[in-house]
Chain A
Amino acid sequence: DQQVKQNSPSLSVQEGRISILNCDYTNSMFDYFLWYKKYPAEGPTFLISISSIKDKNEDGRFTVFLNKSAKHLSLHIVPSQPGDSAVYFCAASEGGTSYGKLTFGQGTILTVHP
């Protein structure tokens, strides 16, 4: 049962353009969402998060949008840079007694071409 889904295995974008990565979830108990970036042979690195009480959170070139009614979130990267090329994971947490346990999507490979 895949509670967090990233339906696009890969995305290719030109440098300077916008990258949009999408994520859908099915568990209505999720109330905190995160994006992680992962390079080969390294562990995931936290990028940005959003609480279910918000619909947008921005940090520099990264913006996360949350649509609770659609159970959908997206990560926008503007402008995209070649160094952004990595695997991006969407993750969710139930809060409360979840003790911070994260449920991850399958990941999207982003390639930014110079």
Chain B
Amino acid sequence: NAGVMQNPRHLVRRRGQEARLRCSPMKGHSHVYWYRQLPEEGLKFMVYLQKENIIDESGMPKERFSAEFPKEGPSILRIQQVVRGDSAAYFCASSPYIGSTDTQYFGPGTRLTVL
């Protein structure tokens, strides 16, 4: 049973470009969380999605950031017009049911560098 997959593992973008980060949850998991880790900080919650629904996006910046989890395919975190402050590690986690805490399985992360 493959774990949570994230790609790309490393992404370099210039200021003003778009970044698309993908997350494939574990098989059988229909709940996806995105977290961001800035340098020297802990992970910070961004958004929680179920298939085709955004449940909680209270941690998402209001502008430039969006997330989706379509019926088919991976979850996508999209950052438009990236700025240097967006440079961070972005982690996706999946869980088998709603409200899960200790059964959130994390992917290896995507390290975004904005030049």
Query: What is A's interface to B at a CB cutoff of 8 Å?
Result: 4, 6, 32, 34, 36, 41-46, 49, 89, 91, 93, 95, 98-107
Among B95, B101, B105, which residue has its beta carbon within 8 angstroms of that of A32?
B101
- 15 of the cross-chain contacts (CB-CB < 8 Å) are A34-B101, A41-B108, A41-B109, A44-B91, A45-B106, A46-B105, A95-B99, A99-B55, A99-B99, A100-B31, A100-B100, A100-B104, A101-B56, A101-B58, A103-B45
Instruction: Judge if B72 is at the interface, Cβ distance under 8 Å.
Output: no
Among A4, A91, A101, A105, which residue has its beta carbon within 8 angstroms of that of B48?
A101
Instruction: Judge if B43 is at the interface, Cβ distance under 8 Å.
Output: yes
Chain A residues within 8 Å of B103, by CB: 46
| Whole-angstrom CA separation of A93 from B43 in the bound complex | 13
Check A93–B42 contact: CB distance below 8 A. Answer: no
Convert B62-105 into 0s and 1s, putting 1 for each residue whose CB lies closer than 8 angstroms to a CB of A: 00000000000000000000000000000101010011111111
| Whole-angstrom CA separation of A95 from B103 in the bound complex | 14
Chain A residues within 8 Å of B33, by CB: 100-102
Chain A residues within 8 Å of B108, by CB: 41-43
Check A106–B102 contact: CB distance below 8 A. Answer: no
Chain B residues within 8 Å of A32, by CB: 101
